[in-house]
């Protein structure tokens, strides 16, 4: 079979560029005596993935020049205690935005915590007000992974109008908002969107007719070459931590796409790591900057 030259959608490079742009803006705000954007993050327990993500968020805040506060609790924190902290952050005028890292322990209702967050400080974009506003195209905080993917498609000038976009996965954090955004009347957007999930019967046929596939299933190497049309654009949201004896950390991040066999069929594809991951973090930073500037809500 004839192979085509594919191009990487380099999230690491794009996010580095965005970081530079934001650091310059923060320096200007500082010089003009304005308010330094302040992000707070609540981390419960010691889940390896969550620890890594939150550490990376705090580090990126510092690199851009934001103020950041990390609030930690053990696994046995009560829902009441967490709700009290959320209320405190809602009322802290210095905190522009905050996140509660998910997942939370089973005895705490994630939905209850999310709904307790003031939507004007909900830089994760998980509150129903932000989700609802996004779905009808109003200004809002858009959750970081879908926002990061849109930015990546935009900076690589990927054509989307009228294209068939298949979203694999229907999570509240990625699949659902991604599908909403890809069908919105704008660029990137204007796609015909199909959402497939674990119960879909014709998933392979759908994928084979897709111009753009966004895979967010959390199933390592799920998307194979025989599911992909020649010249398709592939976005891999998967980040499963697989045990590895060769890396220092003892694990290797594995995407939802069987990269080696899928890449030669593509026009563009995101690597894992270095694709969607860095774009997610930088999009949270952009939401923090918007919160600091009161650009979306007064
Ligand atoms: N867990 C996995 N992704 C995310 C995210 O974007 N935000 C939060 N708060 N938790 C997560």
The string of pLDDT tens digits covering residues 264-276 is: 999 999 999 999 9
Structure token pair of residue 30: 């500082």
The mean pLDDT of 232-242, rounded to a whole number, is 96
Question: How far is 107 from 121, CA to CA, in rounded Å?
Answer: 25
Nearest to 15 by CA among 292, 270, 280, 273: 280
Q: Can the peptide bond before residue 259 be classed as cis, meaning omega within 30 degrees of 0?
A: no
pLDDT, tens only, 7-47: 999 999 999 999 999 999 999 999 999 999 999 999 999 99
- Ligand 1 mean position, distance from CA 265 (Å): 31
- Ligand 1 mean position, distance from CA 138 (Å): 22
Which pairing describes strands 266-269 and 7-8: parallel, antiparallel, or unpaired? parallel
Residue among 108, 124, 284 to mutate when testing ligand 1 (max atoms within 8 A of CB): 124
Does position 298 have pLDDT exceeding 90, yes or no?
no
The mean pLDDT of 60-71, rounded to a whole number, is 98
Q: How many residues does this entry show for the chain? A: 298
Catalytic residues: 57, 101, 124
pLDDT, tens only, 179-188: 999 999 999 9
Structure confidence at residue 3 as a pLDDT band (50, 70, 90): low
Residue among 101, 105, 241, 279 to mutate when testing ligand 1 (max atoms within 8 A of CB): 101
Residue among 53, 117, 280, 286 to mutate when testing ligand 1 (max atoms within 8 A of CB): 53
Structure confidence at residue 2 as a pLDDT band (50, 70, 90): low
Structure confidence at residue 1 as a pLDDT band (50, 70, 90): low
Query: What residues form DSSP beta bridges with 193?
Result: 165
Ligand 1: which atom is nearest the Cα of residue 100?
Answer: 9
The mean pLDDT of 198-222, rounded to a whole number, is 98
- Ligand 1 mean position, distance from CA 15 (Å): 18
Ligand 1: which atom is nearest the Cα of residue 143?
Answer: 6
Nearest to 113 by CA among 92, 87, 142, 146: 87
The mean pLDDT of 85-103, rounded to a whole number, is 98
Structure token pair of residue 123: 């830089």
Question: How far is 93 from 81, CA to CA, in rounded Å?
Answer: 20
Asked if residues 166 and 194 have their Cβ atoms less than 8 Å apart, the reply is yes
pLDDT of the residue at 160: 98
- Ligand 1 mean position, distance from CA 205 (Å): 31
Q: Which residues contact 84 (CB under 8 A, 6 or more apart)?
A: none
Question: How far is 39 from 24, CA to CA, in rounded Å?
Answer: 18
Nearest CA to ligand 1 atom 3: 102
**Three-state SS for 286?**
helix
Structure confidence at residue 248 as a pLDDT band (50, 70, 90): confident
pLDDT of the residue at 117: 99
- Ligand 1 mean position, distance from CA 144 (Å): 8
Q: Across all residues in the chain, what is the average pLDDT?
A: 97
Asked if residues 238 and 276 have their Cβ atoms less than 8 Å apart, the reply is no
Question: How far is 95 from 152, CA to CA, in rounded Å?
Answer: 28
What residues flank ligand 1, with Cβ below 6 Å? 99-102, 124, 144, 173
Nearest to 164 by CA among 150, 148, 146, 182: 182
Ligand 1: which atom is nearest the Cα of residue 144?
Answer: 6
Rg (CA), the chain: 19
For residue 80, the 8-state DSSP code is: H
Percent of the chain with pLDDT over 70: 99
**Has this prediction a pTM greater than 0.85?**
yes
**Three-state SS for 51?**
helix
pLDDT, tens only, 112-152: 999 999 999 999 999 999 999 999 999 999 999 999 999 99
pLDDT, tens only, 163-197: 999 999 999 999 999 999 999 999 999 999 999 99
pLDDT of the residue at 249: 86
Alpha-helix runs per DSSP H in 91-143: 110-116, 128-135
Asked if residues 250 and 217 have their Cβ atoms less than 8 Å apart, the reply is no
């Amino acid at each position: 079979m004839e192979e085509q030259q594919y191009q990487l959608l380099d999230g690491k490079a794009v996010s580095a560029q965005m970081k530079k742009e934001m650091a310059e803006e923060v320096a200007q705000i500082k010089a003009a005596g304005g308010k330094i954007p302040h992000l707070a993050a609540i981390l419960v327990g010691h889940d390896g993935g969550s620890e890594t993500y939150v550490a990376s968020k705090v580090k990126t805040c510092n690199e851009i020049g934001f103020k950041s506060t990390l609030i930690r609790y053990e696994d046995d924190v009560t829902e009441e205690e967490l709700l009290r902290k959320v209320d405190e952050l809602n009322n802290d005028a210095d905190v522009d935005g905050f996140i509660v890292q998910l997942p939370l322990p089973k005895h705490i209702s994630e939905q209850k915590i999310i709904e307790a967050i003031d939507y004007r400080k909900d830089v994760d974009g998980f509150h129903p007000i932000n989700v609802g506003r996004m779905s009808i195209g109003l200004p809002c905080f858009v959750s970081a992974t879908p926002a990061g993917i849109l930015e990546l498609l935009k900076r690589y000038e990927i054509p989307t109008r009228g294209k068939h976009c298949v979203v694999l996965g229907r999570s509240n954090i990625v699949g659902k908002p991604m599908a909403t955004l890809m069908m919105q009347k704008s660029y990137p957007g204007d796609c015909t969107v199909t959402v497939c999930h674990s119960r879909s019967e014709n998933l392979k046929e759908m994928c084979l007719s897709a111009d753009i596939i966004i895979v967010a299933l959390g199933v390592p190497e799920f998307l194979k070459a025989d599911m992909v049309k020649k010249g398709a654009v592939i976005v891999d949201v998967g980040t499963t931590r697989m045990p590895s004896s060769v890396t220092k950390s003892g694990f290797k991040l594995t995407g939802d796409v069987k990269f080696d066999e899928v890449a030669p069929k593509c026009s563009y594809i995101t690597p894992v790591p270095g694709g969607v991951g860095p774009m997610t973090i930088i999009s949270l930073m952009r939401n923090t900057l918007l919160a600091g500037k009161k650009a979306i809500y007064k």
